[in-house]
Structure formats: C-alpha cells, structure tokens
Amino acid sequence: MRKIIVALALFALTGWAIYDTLSKNVAFSVEDGGKSEGQIAEGIEVGNRAPDFALRALNGEEVRLSDFRGKRVIVNMWATWCPPCRAEMPDMQKFYERYKDEGVEIVAVNLTQSERQPEHVGRFIQEYGITFTVLLDEKGEVYRQYQAQAIPTSYLIDSKGIIRKKMIGPMSYDWLVDQMESIQ
C-alpha cells in the first residue's frame, strides 16, 4: 500500500511539474559578453561550456557530447512516457532532417532509469522514425549532472560547446528554426 501511495505522489508531482512547465514554456538565453574561450566556466547555465558526458547509444556504441564539437547541438532530456516529449519528437525529427547537413545535431538523452520497460525506447524510436542520436541515461547520471527539473528540457549548444539557450518544455519546429539560426 505504501508503494502505491508513493507512486501516486510521484506521478502527481511529475504531472504538476509538466503542467507548470507547459503553462510557462520557459526559455533562457544570454550572450557571452565577449569572453575568451579560456574565461568560460564549465557548467549548466546559459553562457557556460556544456559539461561533457558519455552514454551508450541504442546500438551499444559509447557516444560523448564532445564528439559533436564544431557542430551546433541540441541536447534533449526525454522519456517515452512523457506526453510533451512525445509531442515534440515529430518536430525535432523534421528539424533534424532539414538541418543535419548544415552542422546541426540532436542528442536525445533518454532517461532510461525512469522507463518502466527500457526496451520500449527502441520501439519508440522506430515508431516515430527517429534518425538523430539517441543515448541511454541508464543511471540518471546526465539528468543529475544537468539538473533537469522537468522533462523535456533541452540545451542549445553552439559549435564551441557553449550553452546558448535552455528550454524547459516542448520545442516546436518553428521555435527550433528561429533559435538555431541565431546560434553559430
């Protein structure tokens, strides 16, 4: 009985966080103020150098965020059970298909530790026709490292590895186009 109450409480809190986030659809951005690369601190705030991480992809290959240095990258934290995450995936795929040849990558970090059945991730990717990079955060390490408080949470990172925007809530195709065109 206690497990059921805890599960319901967690479900309610997650639902509230998603509702609260969606009602605000928060995005943060800032310019670096002319700082040289050596002056930019590593961290998770806009203007910081994005912390590197390594996770396993669906094919078993280890992928690091730093593998994409030189490209503009969207790091998206998501889960298959999250309705806003599901809603943004078609727009993310459409955006990726349009911009992948222009130095843009999407790194979708699945919060695998929160999935009831982790094998659903592969089915989800097939069902939605996802062709961008999907990584499995099986222990929640990247989720904790980036201190994502709600999902989806996305970080738009420039070609030098600097976080330029942080989006809490689902992204639309038009929003992605507008934001990424302002990021080099």
Residue 40 has a pLDDT of 87
Return the CATH number at 107: 3.40.30.10
In a domain, 123, yes or no: yes
Task: Tell me the pTM.
Answer: 0.80
Residue 182 has a pLDDT of 86
Question: Is pLDDT above 70 for 113?
Answer: yes
Average pLDDT estimate for 116-141: 96
How far is the CA of 143 from the CAs of 10, 108, 150, 173, 179, in angstroms? 17, 12, 10, 24, 23
Domain that holds residue 175: 26-181
Half-sphere exposure of 35 (CA within 13 A, CB side): 14
In a domain, 11, yes or no: no
In a domain, 46, yes or no: yes
In a domain, 124, yes or no: yes
Active site residue: 75, 82, 111, 157, which one?
Answer: 82
85 classed as catalytic: no
Number of domains in the chain: 1
9 confidence band (pLDDT: 50, 70, 90) = very low
Half-sphere exposure of 54 (CA within 13 A, CB side): 4
In a domain, 177, yes or no: yes
Residue 13 has a pLDDT of 46
pLDDT in tens, 70-109: 999 999 999 999 999 999 999 999 999 999 999 999 999 9
In a domain, 80, yes or no: yes
> Nearest-CA neighbor of 167 among 98, 75, 92, 47?
75
Query: What is the percent of the chain with per-residue pLDDT over 90, rounded to a whole number?
Result: 74
In a domain, 15, yes or no: no
Q: In what order do the strands lie in the sheet with 72-78?
A: 26-29, 163-168, 153-157, 72-78, 104-110, 133-136, 54-57, 62-64
